[in-house]
Amino acid sequence: MKNSLFITKYGKLYSSGGTVTFIDQDGNKRIVPVYNLDSIFCIGSVSITSGIIKLIVRNGLKIHFLTKNGTYQGTLANQPLLEGEVIINQVKLFTDERYKVHYAMEKLKSMKSAFLTLLKEYDAKDKFEKIEKIKIIRSSTNNMLGIEASMWRVAYEFLKENLEHFEFLQREYYPPRGEINAMISFINALIYSETLSLVREVGLLPEISFLHSSKEKRFSLVLDIADMFKPFLTLKLILNLDKENKITKFDFEEANYGTYLNETGRLTVVKEFRDALNNTFYFPKLKRNISFKKLIKTEIENIKSSISERREYKSFKKWELCLQS
C-alpha cells in the first residue's frame, strides 16, 4: 500500500516534477514521490498550491486537515466514482434492522476480542475477566452502544493502572484534560482521518452507518470502523510511549482550558502512529504479510462485500495475529 505523509509544522506544500514538497517556516524541505503517497495529514496551518490541487484530481491524493490540537477539520479529495448498486444496498440496509443489529454485534465481538487479546498480553487478569463477562446480546443498536461504552470503561481502568509516568483519572473530551486525554484525542483523530481515506478509497458512503447515528452531520460509518482499531492503535500506542519513556510532561501544553500535545509531542506521537500503521504481520486469509493499515482496508472491503452481496457481515477477530511482527 502507499504511505501517508504527516506534517506537524507550519509551512507550504507544493508539487514539482512528480514529487510532493513541503517547506516549513524555517526553510527545511521534505520531498516525497507522488507514486508512493496516498494521503497527507496537515496538523496545523499549511498552505497549498494549485499543483497540489491537480494531484488531488489526477492521482487521487487526499489531504486531511487537523488543528494543532488534533481536532479533525476536513478533507480535500477527489471523490472516486461509486458503484451505484453498492450505494443503493448500503442505504437500503441502513433501514434493515436485522442487518444493523447483526453488524453491530459483529463489530462489538471484534472489539471484545481486541480488548481481551490486549489484556492477556499485559497479564491484566482482573480486567480480562470483566471484559469476558460482558455479554454481547442481540438487542437494539442503542443498547449496543451502551455495551461498547462498558468495555471502554474497563479499558480505561486498565490504562489507568498500567501507566508508569502519567496520571489518568477519567476520559475527558471537550476539551481533553491531562496528558493521557490529550494523547487519546489526538491519536483517535489520526485513526478517524486514516479510516475516512480508506472508506472513500474502497467506495462506501462514510455518512451511512449501521451502529452510530447517521442523523447528525458526521461520517458515522467511519466512527463504526475506527472504533474497532482503537484498542490496538490508541491504547497500545500510549502504553508503549509511556513504558519506553518516549514522551514526557514537557511534550504537552495547556491552552483553552485543556491539555494538548506541543510540536515536539505531536512529532513523537505521529512517528509512533505511522510505525504502528506500517507494522506487518502474517495474515492467513491472504497468505502473506500485511500492514496494520492494510488490515483496516481489508475490513472495510469485507463490509463492502457484505453490503454488495446483501449477506451477513463477519468481523475480524483474530487480534493475536497483530502481536506477531
Where do the structural domains in the chain lie, given as residue ranges? 3-76, 84-323
> What's the whole-number mean pLDDT along residues 268-277?
92
> What's the whole-number mean pLDDT along residues 25-44?
82
**Is the per-residue pLDDT at 217 higher than 70?**
no
Pick the residue with more confidence: 78 or 249?
249
Task: Provide the grid cell at 154.
Answer: 474497563
User: What confidence score (pLDDT) does residue 143 get?
Assistant: 83
> What's the whole-number mean pLDDT along residues 244-251?
93
- Are 189 and 220 spatial neighbours (Cβ–Cβ below 8 Å)? no
Task: Provide the grid cell at 245.
Answer: 519513556
User: What confidence score (pLDDT) does residue 38 get?
Assistant: 79
Question: 188: exposed, middle or buried (C-beta count within 10 Å: 0-12, 13-18, 19+)?
Answer: buried
- Are 195 and 292 spatial neighbours (Cβ–Cβ below 8 Å)? no
**Is the per-residue pLDDT at 215 higher than 70?**
no
> What's the whole-number mean pLDDT along residues 295-312?
93
Of the candidates 162, 135, 140, 167, the one whose C-alpha atom is nearest the C-alpha of residue 151 is: 135
Architecture of domain 3-76: Ribosomal Protein L15; Chain: K; domain 2 (3.100)
User: What confidence score (pLDDT) does residue 214 get?
Assistant: 63
User: What confidence score (pLDDT) does residue 216 get?
Assistant: 62
- Are 290 and 281 spatial neighbours (Cβ–Cβ below 8 Å)? yes
Residue type, 287: K
Looking at residue 210, the DSSP 8-state letter turns out to be S
pTM score of the predicted model: 0.88
| 136-166 per-position pLDDT tens digit | 887 777 788 888 999 999 999 999 999 999 9
| 54-96 per-position pLDDT tens digit | 877 777 788 888 887 777 888 887 777 778 889 999 889 888 8
What is the β-pairing status of strands 258-261 and 252-255? antiparallel
84-323 fold: Four Helix Bundle (Hemerythrin (Met), subunit A) (1.20.120)
Weakest-pLDDT range from 44-58, 269-283, 295-309: 44-58
Query: Which residue has cell 509516568?
Result: 165
CA atoms within 13 A on the CB side of 113: 16
> What's the whole-number mean pLDDT along residues 114-131?
93
Q: Identify the three-state secondary structure at position 214.
A: coil
- Are 239 and 184 spatial neighbours (Cβ–Cβ below 8 Å)? no
What is the β-pairing status of strands 37-43 and 62-66? parallel
